[in-house]
């Protein structure tokens, strides 16, 4: 039986994930913008990362000893903005300016926003940079860790695999890659485009320590990320199985949720279902 404390923690994660989803649905609705599905699929991952795992300080975003977190799937940046606002890195009001003229928040994640380590938007960029940060950290024996959250589409890019090979070669066990493995890409399902399976086996043969988890199960996410590296002397890879558009029935596991945003009615219904205030 889980202890009361564990239950409290899990409730905190789930509540935060719900609020992230609500923010993302509102932001994409107000901005008439895409990528809601990509944001919804990583809500629990971000909730656990930012509440329990990442050593970050909202009052001092550039704190030198912070853990480095790079979102390589920059199109899902709205979800990171949401969690950063929830944590107090910047005022929640900023979320209303997402995608708006003269707004604070770009459609793709931007380092001009407090708490964002690195800008991405074109896939295949995050992991090489994260590897460079891990290299630099090890060279000065720094204790902070480097995390890179990727999409499965990121793993179509050759540059991602270049970085995978290099990180294993140099045994960067201060580096953790997480894939938001929702298996839906921009034009279809992965099995019809580029099938990555047997993904865990490939990564393992490439020299990484790999764990597969349910990316919506906060307890499983916490358990996996609380014990890093998975194996000393190897970079860690977490394949988090998720559902694109998670939490909104008409979005779940669809290609269209990469593009569509909720109408007024759909937004109200989705927020009601999430239990958030519209």
Which residue ranges make up the site for another protein (CB under 8 A)? Answer: 111, 118-122, 124-125, 127-137, 139, 158-159, 162-163, 165-166, 170
Q: How far is the CB of 166 from another protein (least distance, A)?
A: 5
Supply the minimum distance, in Å, between the C-beta of residue 144 and another protein. 10
Nearest alpha-carbon partner for 150 in 235, 209, 72, 42: 72
The continuous run of DSSP H or E covering 133 comes out as helix 126-139
**Distance, CA of 76 to CA of 89 (rounded, Å):** 18
Q: Specify whether the CB–CB gap between 238 and 176 falls below 8 A.
A: yes
234 CB neighbour count, 10 Å cutoff: 19
Query: At closest approach, how far in Å is the CB of 49 from another protein?
Result: 19
Q: How far is the CB of 270 from another protein (least distance, A)?
A: 33
Nearer to another protein, 14 or 170 (CB): 170
Query: Strand, helix or coil at 186?
Result: coil
Nearer to another protein, 112 or 273 (CB): 112
Which is closer to another protein, CB of 38 or CB of 160?
Answer: 160
Candidates 239, 243, 181, 233; CA nearest to 211 is 239
Q: How far is the CB of 156 from another protein (least distance, A)?
A: 14
Of 169 and 263, the one with the shorter C-beta distance to another protein is: 169
Residue closer to another protein (CB basis): 30 or 162: 162
Question: Could you identify the residue written with the tokens 């300080």?
Answer: 57
**Cβ-based nearer residue to another protein, 130 or 274:** 130
Q: Could you tell me the smallest distance in angstroms from the CB atom of residue 250 to another protein?
A: 33
Identify each DSSP E strand in the chain by its residue range.
Answer: 68-71, 146-151, 175-181, 209-214, 236-241
Provide, rounded to whole angstroms, the least separation between the CB of residue 43 and another protein: 26
For the stretch 174-206, what's the b/e string if a residue is b when 16 or more beta carbons lie within 10 angstroms of its beta carbon? bbbbbbbbbbbbeeeebeebeebeebbeebeeb
24, 36 contact by CB (below 8 A) = yes
Contact 31, 57 (CB under 8 A): no
**Minimum CB distance to another protein smaller for 173 or for 222:** 173
Q: How many CA atoms lie within 13 A of 209 on its CB side?
A: 18
């Amino acid at each position: 039986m889980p202890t009361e404390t564990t239950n409290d923690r899990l409730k905190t994660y789930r509540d935060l994930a719900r609020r992230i989803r609500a923010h993302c649905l509102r932001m994409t609705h107000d901005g008439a913008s895409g990528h809601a599905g990509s944001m919804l699929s990583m809500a629990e991952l971000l909730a656990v990362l930012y509440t329990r795992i990442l050593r970050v300080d909202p009052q001092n975003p550039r704190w030198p000893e912070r853990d480095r977190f790079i979102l390589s799937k920059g199109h899902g940046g709205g979800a990171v903005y949401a969690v950063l606002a929830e944590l107090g890195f910047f005022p929640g009001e900023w979320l209303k300016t997402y995608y708006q003229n003269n707004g604070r928040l770009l459609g793709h994640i931007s380092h001009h926003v407090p708490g964002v380590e690195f800008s991405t938007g074109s896939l295949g960029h995050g992991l090489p940079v994260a590897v460079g940060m891990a290299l630099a950290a090890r060279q000065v024996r720094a204790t902070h860790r480097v995390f890179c959250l990727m999409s499965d589409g990121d793993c179509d890019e050759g540059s991602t695999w270049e970085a995978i090979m290099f990180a294993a070669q140099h045994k960067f066990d201060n580096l953790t890659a997480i894939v938001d493995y929702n298996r839906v890409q921009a034009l279809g399902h992965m099995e019809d485009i580029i099938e990555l399976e047997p993904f865990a086996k490939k990564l393992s043969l490439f020299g990484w320590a790999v764990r597969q988890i349910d990316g919506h199960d906060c307890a499983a996410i916490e358990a996996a990320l609380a014990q890093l590296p998975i194996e000393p002397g190897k970079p860690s890879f977490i394949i988090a199985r998720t559902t694109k558009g998670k939490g909104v029935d008409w979005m779940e596991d669809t290609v269209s949720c990469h593009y569509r945003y909720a109408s007024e009615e759909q937004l109200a219904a989705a927020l009601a279902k999430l239990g958030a205030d519209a």
